[in-house]
């Protein structure tokens, strides 16, 4: 008889705490489903670029619009002038049609991509970027108007470049990533 009491006590213990454990799992599942536990919400905005570029983190904007979608101020930090050409700006967001965006360097400081600016998305000639000079990288992304405001999105920027004191035979690839909330 003593054994059955111990068995009954053990079963009651497991049933009580088992139900509590199931309730906790259900609550965690509900929080995850509604996005409360989404870790990307807690990650800071960042702008990480490698040599020869320096990105000003406080001057990055991602907007839910097809023209002038991403604005990022980048400085030539190489130590001398460089020539840039053939840039790509991509994302894995399903809202961006084709995943690629047109890129230009805002040379007239109007904050938009106009005919007067340097289009580095094409295979045209190289553009000279003087040492220490800051340009705003402006991108036009098809489908960006469908981005959800407040959501976080990552863009990858790559550009071919070579030092101003050499030729295209010494080309390199540089760039970085922008991770920011959509405004």
CA distance 92 to 78: 29
For 128-168, write each residue's pLDDT tens digit: 899 999 988 888 888 888 888 888 889 999 999 999 999 88
Say if residue 22's pLDDT is above 90: yes
Instruction: Give the separation between CA 91 and CA 147, rounded to whole angstroms.
Output: 12
pTM score, two decimals?
Answer: 0.75
The percentage of residues in the chain with a pLDDT greater than 70, rounded to a whole number, is: 97
In this predicted structure, the answer to whether residue 1 has a pLDDT above a threshold of 60 is no
Q: Is the pLDDT of residue 2 over 80?
A: no
Backbone angles phi, psi at 170, to 5 degrees: -105, 35
Q: Where are the domains of the chain?
A: 2-37, 42-181
pLDDT tier for residue 114 given thresholds of 50, 70 and 90: confident
**Token pair 């580095």 is at which residue?**
120
H or E element at residue 14: helix 2-33
Label residue 53 by pLDDT band (50, 70, 90): very high
Determine the pLDDT at residue 82.
94
Q: How many Cα neighbours within 13 Å face the side chain of 67?
A: 4
Average pLDDT, the chain: 86
- Looking at residue 123, what is its pLDDT? 60
Q: What is the pLDDT of residue 25?
A: 95
Name the more confident of 114 and 163.
163
165-172 contact pairs (CB < 8 A, 24+): 165/80, 168/83, 168/126
CATH class of 42-181: mainly beta
């Amino acid at each position: 008889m003593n054994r059955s009491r111990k068995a009954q006590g053990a079963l009651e213990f497991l049933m009580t705490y088992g139900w509590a454990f199931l309730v906790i799992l259900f609550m965690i599942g509900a929080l995850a489903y509604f996005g409360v536990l989404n870790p990307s919400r807690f990650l800071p905005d960042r702008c990480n670029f490698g040599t020869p570029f320096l990105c000003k983190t406080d001057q990055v904007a991602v907007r839910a619009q097809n023209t002038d979608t991403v604005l990022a101020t980048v400085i030539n930090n190489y130590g001398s002038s460089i020539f840039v050409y053939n840039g790509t700006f991509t994302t894995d967001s399903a809202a961006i049609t084709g995943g690629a965006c047109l890129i230009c360097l805002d040379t007239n400081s109007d904050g938009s991509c106009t005919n007067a600016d340097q289009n580095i998305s094409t295979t045209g000639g190289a553009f000279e970027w003087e040492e220490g000079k800051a340009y705003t990288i402006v991108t036009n992304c098809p489908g960006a108007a469908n981005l959800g405001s407040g959501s976080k999105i990552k863009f990858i920027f790559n550009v071919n470049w070579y030092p101003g004191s050499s030729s295209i035979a010494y080309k390199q690839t540089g760039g970085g990533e922008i991770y920011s909330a959509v405004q």
